[in-house]
Amino acid sequence: MIDVLQQARMRFAAGHVADAEALLRQHLQAEPNNGEVRVELARLLHARGHFTEALAELDRAAVPVPLLRASLLGRLNRVEEAIAMQRKAIADQEHPRALLGLGHLLKTAGQVEEAVAVNRRALALDQTLGEAWWSLSSLKTFNFTDADRDAMEALLADAGSSDDARTYVHLALAQALDAAGDAQGSWQHLAAGNAMQARVVRHDPADISALVDSTISKMDSGFFAAREGWGVDVAGPIFIVGMPRSGTTLLEQMLASHSTIEGTSELPYMPALARQLGRSGDRLGSHYLERLAALGPRDIEALGRAYLDLSRGQRRLNRPLFVDKMPNNWLLTGLIRIALPAAKIIDMRRNPLDCGLSNYRELFARGQTYSYDLAHIGRYYADYVRLMRHFDAVQPGKVLRVIYEELVDDPERELRRVFAYLGVEFEPQVLRFHETNRAVRTASAAQVRQPLNRRGIGQAGRYSEWLGPLREALGATLEDWDR
């Protein structure tokens, strides 16, 4: 038993995800009532983004694992159920990390005041819990007190603090000092926290550049012409792609305020299908494009149907259209176009200095490994713009570009343009998007529940003297990013 669980965990950690899953399923064929193995399979499926299947395995396990169940319910947009389950898990004993989970769910549900209180309780139980400070700062609307800043400085001064805690606190302090008007102090903590995280996640910008080069080379106009009529030609998905922190959550909230559109946040399914196609673990494999090019009409249709089947578990409302705002799907625009030809794709774009700084300020739960180095951010942004221009050329009119600054300056004009592209009527309530009550799981959860404002425009100006590596990596893209 222990050997099976350990072997599966080791294979998963090494990136051999399919092997780990096969090992657990093979064991369950011999022992179908083995609850521990079934729970481990549920954990693995959760990590892979197969939330509906993971929850089903947890039901079969008949083993009480309330925190895992709460996490799965949250990922399936069943947020109120998830909150109730999380409360149940901490009812008998308040554990700091369980409180963190509850705080995150409360933020997702828009219950910001209680989210603050829950994180305060977590800190009262564990003063060294750097993640709780970061959770407070990630609310974006939270104001730290002088005592808060002193407590965070003390944690950094404590030689016993873990590297993880230091990283969280550096970035939380950066937010606190920025709000206090101390740009230099904020930058010092930003640089320190990002340097620590960059050593953990590792990123080679050449990997993204090579994938973009290959995509441009292989997905020319002939590629799409040869696959005309393939895939699942049904309306429904609306993909919002681009850089994180570019206004994708804002646009999703606006669209989800429409009577025919449901927001489902960032769905992991298209990247998961692409990785599966490339036979890779956590990253998009080098063989993805070669294998995609070799697929026939039935295989491409199967990919489209798999995406629709997986995303169905995230949909709670009976609306014909839904938004998937996984920003990294810009790399998979070509796959979306052939597998789901009726899907709509919106490229949400923001000034690269403001957007780059906002990425540098964020500590992402997963992915976005480029975001902890300014030069890597600049190169990633330039590659993104380069690939989207290619699709503009070979698939004209299929992707709609929306500029964040223009959306903020004239939301009605831009939204009318968006809804015309989507083929639905404009509805006035979309301009009151901040009143829409729905779960929002991204870093902008609190921000999109406020009326539209210009606070995010031009914010890089105060940090201009430190943004040289970002400007240099952007190169010519800095001047023509919106074209």
Beta bridge partners of 345: 239, 399
Specify the length of the chain in residues: 483
Give residue 64's pLDDT: 85
* Burial label, 375 (beta-carbon count in 10 A; 0-12, 13-18, 19+): middle
Considering only CA atoms, which of 89, 100, 33, 38 is closest in space to residue 66?
Answer: 89
CA-to-CA dists, residue 93 to 98, 125, 418, angstroms: 10, 11, 49
Is residue 437 exposed (0-12), middle (13-18) or buried (19+ Cβ within 10 Å)? Answer: exposed
Question: For residue 316, what pLDDT is reported?
Answer: 85
With a pLDDT cut of 70, the percent of the chain lying above it is 95
* Range in 75-84, 179-188, 278-287 with the lowest mean pLDDT: 278-287
Best CA proximity match to 344, nearest among 265, 258, 241: 241
Residue 254 and residue 422 in contact, taking contact as beta carbons nearer than 8 Å: no
Per the prediction, the chain carries an average pLDDT of 91
Q: Which amino acid is at 331?
A: L
Structure tokens at 193: 């926290």
pLDDT digits (tens, 9 = 90+) for 314-353: 898 989 999 999 999 999 999 999 999 999 999 999 999 9
Which of helix, strand or coil describes residue 30? Answer: helix
In contact, 140 and 447? CB cutoff 8 Å: yes
What residue spans of 239-373 are helical by DSSP H?
248-256, 269-277, 288-294, 297-312, 333-339, 352-360
267 or 284, which is more confident? Answer: 267
Q: Given this model, what pLDDT does residue 447 score? A: 63
For position 281, what pLDDT does the model report?
53
Per the DSSP assignment, residues forming a β-bridge with 401 are 347
Residue 443, pLDDT > 70, answer no
Contacts of 237 (CB under 8 A, 6+ apart): 307, 308, 311, 321, 322, 324, 336, 340, 343, 344
| Class of residue 32 by CB neighbours under 10 A (exposed 0-12, middle 13-18, buried 19+) | exposed
**Rounded CA gap, 270 and 237, in Å?**
11
Q: Which residues contact 220 (CB under 8 A, 6 or more apart)?
A: 394
Helix (H/G/I), strand (E/B), else coil: 303:
helix
Residue with tokens 């039935």: 298
Task: For residue 156, give the nearest of 169, 139, 144, 145 by alpha carbon.
Answer: 169
Distance between CA atoms of 37 and 61, rounded to whole angstroms? 8
CB-based contact 398:391 (threshold 8 Å) = yes
- What pLDDT does 330 receive? 98
Question: What's the longest Cα–Cα distance across the chain?
Answer: 64
d(CA 476, CA 197): 28
Phi and psi torsions of 296, nearest 5°: -95, 180
Residue 419: pLDDT above 90? yes
Predicted pLDDT of residue 252: 96
For residue 444, pLDDT over 60 is answered with: no
CB crowding 344-354: b at 16 or more within 10 Å, else e: bbbbbbbbbbb
Q: What is the reported pLDDT for 436? A: 82
- CA nearest 40: which of 58, 14, 26, 52? 58
Q: What CATH number was assigned to the domain covering residues 205-480?
A: 3.40.50.300
Q: How confident is the model at residue 459 (pLDDT cuts 50, 70, 90)?
A: very high
The DSSP symbol for 430 reads: G
Long-range contacts of 390-395 (CB under 8 A, 24+ apart): 390/215, 390/216, 390/219, 391/219, 391/333, 391/334, 391/337, 394/219, 394/220, 394/221, 394/223, 394/224, 395/224, 395/337
For the chain, which residues make up each domain, given as ranges? 127-201, 205-480
Least trusted range by pLDDT, from 14-18, 33-37, 135-139, 440-444: 440-444
Average pLDDT over residues 104-131: 91
For 59-74, how does the pLDDT look when each residue is reduced to its tens digit (9 = 90+)?
Answer: 998 888 888 999 999 8
For residue 454, give both structure tokens.
């210009």
pLDDT (average), residues 431-438: 84
Residue 15 has pLDDT above 80, yes or no: no
Q: Which strands make up the sheet holding 344-349, listed edge to edge?
A: 261-263, 321-324, 237-242, 344-349, 399-403
| Residues 192, 167: Cα–Cα separation, whole Å | 8
Confidence of residue 279 (pLDDT cuts 50, 70, 90): low
Which of 70-84, 133-147, 217-231, 435-449 has the lowest average pLDDT? 435-449
pLDDT band at 284 (very low <50, low <70, confident <90, very high): confident
